[in-house]
Every structure is written in C-alpha cells, then in structure tokens.
Structure 1
Amino acid sequence: MPSWPTYELLPTAAPDLPPSVLVHMAGLNECACEATAGELSRSDFPANFVFGVATSAYQVEGARNEDGKGDSIWDIFSQKNGNIKDGSNGNIAVDHYHRYKEDVELISKLGFQAYRFSISWSRIFPDGFGDKVNDKGIAYYNSLIDFLLAKGIQPYVTLYHWDLPYKLHESVGGWLSEKVVEHFAMYAEICFARFGDRVKHWITMNEPLQTAINGYGIGIFAPGRKENNYDEPYIAAHYQILAHAAAVDVYNKKFKATQGGEIGLVVDCEWAEAFSDEVHDKDAAQRRLDFQLGWFLDPIYFGDYPAVMRKRLGDKLPKFSETHKELLQNPIDFVGLNHYTSKLIVHAPDTTQGPFYKIQEIERRVKRQAGDLIGERAASDWLYVVPWGIRKVLNYIAEKYRNPPIYVTENGMDDEEDETASIDHFLNDQRRIQYFKDYLAAVAQAIRDGVDIRGYFAWSLLDNFEWAQGYTKRFGLVYVDYKNGLTRHPKSSAHWFSQFLKDKKDNDLSQN
C-alpha cells in the first residue's frame, strides 16, 4: 500500500459527480469481464498484486472469557433471545484463538500472500478505556503476527470490525458519544506501538455504514438500537469517521516515519445500477452511491458530506468543526472496498424499504424491467451474483476520488447451512469457484481500465459466525465441521485458488 499525495481540503462540500463519470460507468460493458473469466490466470494481474484471505475477530476467535478479555457489544447482543437467527453466539466461534497456527498453515499451503484479520479491542483494553493494557491479549496477537511472518504471509490488520468494548457502550454511549473518539485513538496507538514494527498495513474501520445503519438504525446488529433511527445512524457514522481520522493522525505523526507502514479504511458498496434510462432513476442511483461511498469518503477527500446528504438530512447530519476538518486532512494511503453484489435502483418517493431509503427516495430491486433477475441469488437474500458490478464500483471510486490505491478487502458468496447434507455437498462448491472466476475477471478488467488496484482478499478463510445469521450461512473457502470438533476441510474453491495462485491456466481443479 504505497502512500499517495496529500490533497488540499476543499472549503465546501464535495462537488456533484461530473457527468463524465456517469457516462464512463454507463459505457462499461457488463459482459466484457465474463467473456474472459474462463481463461483467467494469475498472470492477468500485476506481479506485485496481493492475494489474501480475510476474517474478523468476533467471527472466528472465540475464547470469550479467556486471558483477560472483556466483553464486546457483540458478546452481549448475541446472548439476547431473538437477536441471532439460530440462537448461537461467538463464545467459541471456530476457535481461531487456539487454532491460529493450524489456520495459518492452511493459508500458507494454499499459497495466499496475506491475511486480513481484526484485533479485538476488548482483548487489548478489556473495558475499552485504555487504563490498563491486557498483556495476554498483546501476547496473542504478537504470536499470530510472528507466525504469519514466519510463513511468509503479510498481516493486514483491522483495528475495528464492529466489536466495540461493551463498557464503552454502557458508560459513555458508544458511537453516539464523541468521547469514544479519544478512546479509539488510545487503542490504536497501543496497537501501532506494540505491533507496528511488523505490521505494515493498517485498516482503521471496517464498513462503518453497517455499524451506523444496522447497529443504530435497524437494530439487527450490535448494539441493537432502533429507537431513534432518523438521527442516531448519522451520529454513529460521524464519530466513526472522526475516530478513523484520529487514528490516522496518531499513526502519521508518531509511527509512519519510523515504521514505514500504511493506513486506510474499508468501506462497503453495492453497485447502484439505474433501473431505467429515465433521469429520475439515474439520479436515484447516484443518491444511493452518495449515501454509501460518499457518506464516508467525501469527508476524507473533500472535507464534508455529500451535498445531497446535507440537503436531505438538514440538521440531522452532524457538522464538522474547523478542528475536525483539520483532522480530516490527514491523508490515507489506500481505500479498502468490501463488495459482494449489485442492485437496481429506482426513484421511489413512497418507498416502504425503511427510513434510510425513504430519505434517499429509492428502492433497491433485483428484477429488471423485463422480469429477469440481475443475477443468480446466493444463500443470503441480499446477495446476487453480479460480476460486472465490481468493475463499475472500482471505476467509480477511481474517477471520483482521484484514483487512490484500492484493495478489494472482501469479496465472496455463501451457501446455506444444511445439517442433513453431507460434507462432500459443501466441499464441492462449484458455484463459489465460478463466482471468484467472474469477479476476479472483472477486477482484472478494472485494472486494465486504469484503476490502481493493489490486492484482493477473499471472504472468508473459514466458515464462521455470520453476525445476525449465526452459523446458518457458510462463506468459507475452508469448511468447518461444527458437529465434529470444528475440524477444517478445504473446499474445491480453496484448491482452485491454490492452482490459480500458481499461475496455471487450467483452473478447473477437482477436489482430491
């Protein structure tokens, strides 16, 4: 993740997207990437392009009450009846805390160069406040990092992947309080100080939009708030942005020169394709992008939220003080993009899809005007396989935000858990192989378009706890047998990646 130039903070909100960007997006051929997918090989990507796999702490670690760890909001949220689809939790998860060496060995054998994982804030500071460092938590991550490096795998470390220390939520209000910004900066500094001699790739936040909407608007994610869904999501997002900026400030001022690492953040975005050629649908699709990417990237690149958000939300959208704007001027080194699917967007003033979409006056659809689906559905009801969408998102980021270095930090698809099915049913995951072929072909095409993409991380290394869905969805390249000691079994997709990374043309590897 090489650093890129510092840009001047603009005195006003981000300008509307130039028409040339929308024209360019419309000109991207939906079929171009799929036409080359069957011939995809490692040599279609630059020699220094990074391929990795990803997980997050709460989804895989387990060890909830071990070695001094404090509770996170997800520890508490998942204990309440009705919050998790199958009534499960992450107390044990897939036991990565105790099995990390086995899992790292798998990463190495499959040929991946990098592992993106998150640090549990409450494993470092059990109460979140920073009064006392948990040395056993430090020791665990030191061991994981050292073992990765010994196997030739680069750690890409996320500081916050949704698991806020519960005591910070309970005592100061979590992401609804500006106090959390200071606490996050203290936590980040400890991580930089203890791990930064070996960790050269830092991510501050993972998908702050999901925390804001699902955690403080709809209430289906921790901490489960939905009482004030017209205000709290925007407050929670605001303080996440400021916490990100504070951590970047700490890193740039105290550590970057000596440690030589880089820092960015991860945003998520479904591509928003206009439902029709009508102007009102095209405008609606642009609003959808502003309320996804613009919400978090515009303040960093342009100094304020998108103008359309200011216009539609008014006083509900917090304002950045001059001090905040100075903080936001700290440059980041890359943008991480989590992308899985795309939707058709229609202008809909009377939408019933919820307050967040009501404000935007949009509806997300999966059927075209002719009645056919935008793509084949995966297990999750929100995930449709639309490979051309990732190319459009990548080009959009490049054109609007001055072509920053980009990492695709998550991409993948899921299967439905079926306790009656054999292990072989899950191991022979040909649909997932095709998904990766098609999406990687689209990423390769975006690189040829001129987008500065530096790497790609498959989600996920392991089947794991999928938040509100519990263990009912399987995203892993590696099957985890929940009934028989959490044993690991690489799926056909894992073997496909292994062959792909060896730069072999024949990617149709059958499972041994």
Structure 2
Amino acid sequence: MRIGFPRWVCSCSFFLGLFLVDSKTHTSFHEEVIKRSDFPDGFLFGVATSAYQIEGAYLEDGKSLNNWDVFALSPGNIENGDNGFIADDHYHRYLEDINIIQSLGVDAYRFSISWSRVLPRGRFGDVNPNGILFYNKILDNLLFRGIRPFVTIYHYDFPEELEDRYGSWLSPLMQEDYVHFAETCFKNFGDRVKDWFTMNEPNLFTQMGYEKGTYPPSRCSPPFGNCSSGNSDIEPLIVMHNMLLAHGKTVKLYRRDYQHEQGGSIGIVVDCFMYEPLTDNDFDQEAANRILAFNIGWALDPLIFGDYPSEMRKYLGDQLPRFSSDERKFMKDGIDFIGVNHYATLYAKDCIHSICSLSGSRAILGFVDASKERDGIPIGAPTGLGSLRVVPRGIREVIEYLKKRYHNKPMFVTENGYSDPKVDDQVQNILQDFDRIEFHKMYMSSLAQAIRDGADVRGYFVWTLMDDFEWRLGYTPRFGLYYIDHQTLNRIPKLSAKWYQDFLKNNTRALEIQDS
C-alpha cells in the first residue's frame, strides 16, 4: 500500500515550479451500481497483501532481520511503537487466510516473497529451505483452490545485511543481489507462478527512503527531512537507477532462461497518482504533465522506451544518471504488463510563470493544506491518510494516461483501497464499513468506463485482504476487508467482505447492501 506523498517528486516539482493539492470530487459518497458483468469475460478480481505487512514470525525458521525489522526497533520510526514482528501472524495462519481468500470467490491473489526468509544473507549465504517450503505451501494451496497467484518478488523488504555491507540500493552491488534473489524465486516457484512483478512501487520507496527519510534506510537532507545522513537531491536518482537496472537484468534473465519453459509473464508495480491542472490555463496543464512524467514516467519510461523521460532530462541535466547503449537495449520493452497502484488524485499548479503563495516548509516541498477548498467546493472525501482523497474519476484518468503514453500496454490495477478516516476503536463500527463498499463501487465503475473506452486492463486487486501493518503508520490505518483483533489475531469479516463476495457472484444483493 502507498503511504505518504511523493516528496522527492514534489521537490522536483518545486524546482519545476509546481505545487500540489488534492483534487475535487464528490462532496459525499453516493451509491453506484456496478456488477461483475460490467467487466469483460476473463477479467480477474483479487485481493492483495505483502510479506512484511502480514507474515510476522520475524526471526523464525531461519529468517534474518530485514530492513523494516531494524527500522522498527528505533523509537519514533513507527507510529505507536508498532512493528511487524507478529503482524497478522500469516506465517502460522496461512491456511486459514487462504480459506478466507477462497470464500470470497476471487480469481487471484497478489502477495510477495520475503527476501530475508528465502535468502537470509543474500548472495552471501545459502537458500533457506524453510522459506522455500513456506511459499511452496502457499502456492500449492492457492492452486488447489483454483486461485491464480500473482507474485511480487520485492515489496520494500530485504536482508539488513545488504544495507550493512554496502548500502543496499545506493550501490550497484544491490543489482546483483536482487537478480540472484529473483532467479532463486524463478527456480523454486516458476513452475507454478505465471504472473511476476519484479518490484512494488520503486518510485514511492525511493522517495520515502531517500528523500523524505520516513522509510528505511531513513536517509535525507534538509529541507526535506532531518536525517543523520543522506542527500535528498541526488540519492533518490541513484537508487532508482539501480532498481531499474536490477529490474532490467532480471527480465533479461527471465526471458532468456525461464519464460519459454515456464510460460509466465513479468512486469512491475508503480505508484500512480493522477494529477490534474488546478486551472484550465496552459501553464497548469503543462505542470500536471510534468509531474506525471516525474512520478510515473520516471519508473516506466526506461522500461518501455529505454530511457528516462525527456521532461526529467530537461530539468535535471547531468544529475540524472544515464544508461549505456547496451543497457538501453535490454531495458527497452522490459515489461509484459504494468501494475497500477492508485489511491489519490492531486492538483498541479505552475510556479514557473506564476506566483505560488506558499510559506515555510510547504513552500519548499510544494504542498498546500489538502483541507482547503477551491471555489467553495470541498476537495474530496478523506481516506484516513491525511491528504489522500476519494476521487473515483482519477482511476479512469490515470489509466487513460498510461494507455496513451505506453501504447495501451496491458495493465492490472494491483492496489486500490480505502482506510476509514475516523479513528474508531469500536469493533462494531469498524465492521459496518459502508464507506469502503461505496469506495470500491465508485472506483470500479470508473475503471469499467476506462475499459469500455479501450484500455487494456485485465484485473483489479482490492487492497487489502485484512487490516495489516501499514509501514510507518503501523496498525492505525485499516484497509482490510477483514478486521484483525490484535489480542486474539482473529480474522473478522467486515461488511465489505460480504459485499465483495456477493459482487463476485454477480449477486444483486451486493447492489442493495447499503439499504439493508
């Protein structure tokens, strides 16, 4: 799940003359009529999770400390002092969770592999047979129940030893460690996994870990954050370059040695905000286009066209790393499909030709308080994560942008979800999650329209199966279809779980649940 804002992009937007606020939308939720039959035959519906957010068992059966384990040990890094040491205890309850997934009636399940569980010391140690066994059991049980696994190889977590040895993603050595990890997954799981994602949101992880410093390894520099070390202007560019090359080398290896025999496909998951111009003038439109290039194009252009967006090169010049001619060749056309994580839509305003009336750190970061209103219209409904707002048209618009920029490359919506903005510990109120139901109705309806307009979107994954560890925000946000009682670790279905189940059956009750 995507938490926070693209602050490194926003720092670029500051230099580019942008500032961002949340986009307007419905003043309140309203009922949408959406049916499974509104989607094409063969369209996949699923749920998504990630290893660190649900597994727990952080030092069991040969797993080593990973970067998030270490980050959570430092006071103040995670809200409420939370950590993922137990999380949802999926490591011990995976059969129960797979039964829940099956009961929903989904076609597919997206999950990730814990790098430190499979290769506790990276290239510097042996494969952990207990880690391989764990994921084999998950895969075999999913397939036995007719559920298609979508596997993310890297979802933010890696062995801490790689950070200690050479600085992880700041070093080209991390490329080789990643390729070794990916090949270990292909060798052990590729006979059953036909849908691979190399990485989850490299554009977001880079910004949060190396520009703002709120993810490990917590590197940043003023004015973006107050870290003990780092350079918020340069390091995000280096890290992203290494991540993209790691992806490119992995895809080259997969296509050469595994794809034909195993019959799978491989892509990447990108954090995809939508940006709209604040006004109708040309300058604001150009600003929106620039910020889309700096966020989405930064991750995808090299993997489809072989190089970074021209918009980035224009403003960053030699600060932006360069691919060699050989690298451009294997990077180009380096994905079979795009994973789209979409949660929010923001406004973009030009500050090159205009005066932006901001002050203090927000002027430097390029943000305006998202609670502001424009022309007296409330800007969206909040999702429980500060300035993230419910803007259903945004998913249609970002899909349209991807369709045009990348020649309608096949897409999966790999994450879309809602966290109740109210801090409410009353279980009955948490379980009666009407707003989550309406959120998914509205976003699905907008997505269905994008598909009718010709977008090659092939699946939709709800974030998330169950309330989980939401990175630096700990357990406060609740995105799950199932509530987790952290005293008992019982999984309790919310109303949205029943709604999704009915929706997947094309049951008309799913359309009437709000009135029941």
- What is the SS of the residue equivalent to 1:332? coil
Which amino acid in 1 is paired with 2:445? A
| Matching residue within 148, 151, 160 for 2:142 | 148
Partner of residue 16, structure 1: none
1:341, distance to aligned residue in structure 2 (A)? 1.1
Partner of residue 414, structure 1: 419
1:372, distance to aligned residue in structure 2 (A)? 2.1
| Matching residue within 92, 99, 118 for 2:93 | 99
1:262 is aligned to 2:256: no
1:281, distance to aligned residue in structure 2 (A)? 1.0
Separation in structure 1 between the aligned mates of residue 356 and residue 65 of structure 2, nearest angstrom: 38
CA gap 1:154/1:117 in 2 versus in 1, 3 angstroms: same
Which amino acid in 1 is paired with 2:242? Y
Q: Greater CA deviation, 144-153 or 372-381?
A: 372-381
1:48 is aligned to 2:52: no
1:253 is aligned to 2:256: yes
Separation in structure 1 between the aligned mates of residue 282 and residue 508 of structure 2, nearest angstrom: 44
Partner of residue 27, structure 1: none
Which of structure 1's runs of 4+ aligned residues deviate more than 6 A? 34-37, 350-364
Partner of residue 329, structure 2: 326
Partner of residue 172, structure 1: 166
Separation in structure 2 between the aligned mates of residue 289 and residue 307 of structure 1, nearest angstrom: 12
| Matching residue within 61, 65, 73 for 2:59 | 65
Q: Write the deviation string for residues 459-495 of structure 1: whole angstroms up to 9, x where unpaired.
A: 0001000000001111101000112x11001101110
Partner of residue 85, structure 1: 79
Which amino acid in 1 is paired with 2:136? N
* 2:304/2:335 contact within 8 Å kept: no
Aligned-pair Cα RMSD in Å: 2.5
1:171, distance to aligned residue in structure 2 (A)? 0.7
CA gap 1:119/1:358 in 2 versus in 1, 3 angstroms: farther
Q: Write the deviation string for residues 298-329 of structure 1: whole angstroms up to 9, x where unpaired.
A: 11122111112112112221111122212203
Separation in structure 1 between the aligned mates of residue 409 and residue 359 of structure 2, nearest angstrom: 33
1:260, distance to aligned residue in structure 2 (A)? 0.4
Separation in structure 1 between the aligned mates of residue 471 and residue 244 of structure 2, nearest angstrom: 23
Separation in structure 2 between the aligned mates of residue 465 and residue 253 of structure 1, nearest angstrom: 37
CA gap 1:104/1:193 in 2 versus in 1, 3 angstroms: same
Partner of residue 467, structure 2: 463
1:283, distance to aligned residue in structure 2 (A)? 1.0
Structure 2: any 5+ residue segments left out of the alignment? 1-23, 221-229
Separation in structure 2 between the aligned mates of residue 381 and residue 164 of structure 1, nearest angstrom: 28
Q: Greater CA deviation, 500-509 or 375-384?
A: 500-509
Partner of residue 205, structure 1: 199
- What is the SS of the residue equivalent to 1:331? coil
1:378, distance to aligned residue in structure 2 (A)? 1.6
1:39, distance to aligned residue in structure 2 (A)? 2.2
Partner of residue 377, structure 1: 382
* 1:417/1:471 contact within 8 Å kept: no
Partner of residue 276, structure 1: 279
Partner of residue 404, structure 1: 409
Q: Greater CA deviation, 340-349 or 288-297?
A: 340-349
1:296, distance to aligned residue in structure 2 (A)? 0.9
Q: Greater CA deviation, 372-381 or 344-353?
A: 344-353
Partner of residue 226, structure 2: none
Q: How many residues align?
A: 480
* 2:384/2:421 contact within 8 Å kept: yes
Separation in structure 1 between the aligned mates of residue 174 and residue 325 of structure 2, nearest angstrom: 19
1:249, distance to aligned residue in structure 2 (A)? 1.0
* 2:272/2:398 contact within 8 Å kept: yes
Separation in structure 1 between the aligned mates of residue 421 and residue 150 of structure 2, nearest angstrom: 29
Separation in structure 1 between the aligned mates of residue 359 and residue 490 of structure 2, nearest angstrom: 41
The two structures have a TM-score, normalised by structure 1, of: 0.89
1:423, distance to aligned residue in structure 2 (A)? 1.2
* 1:145/1:198 contact within 8 Å kept: yes
Partner of residue 431, structure 1: 435
Separation in structure 2 between the aligned mates of residue 339 and residue 240 of structure 1, nearest angstrom: 21
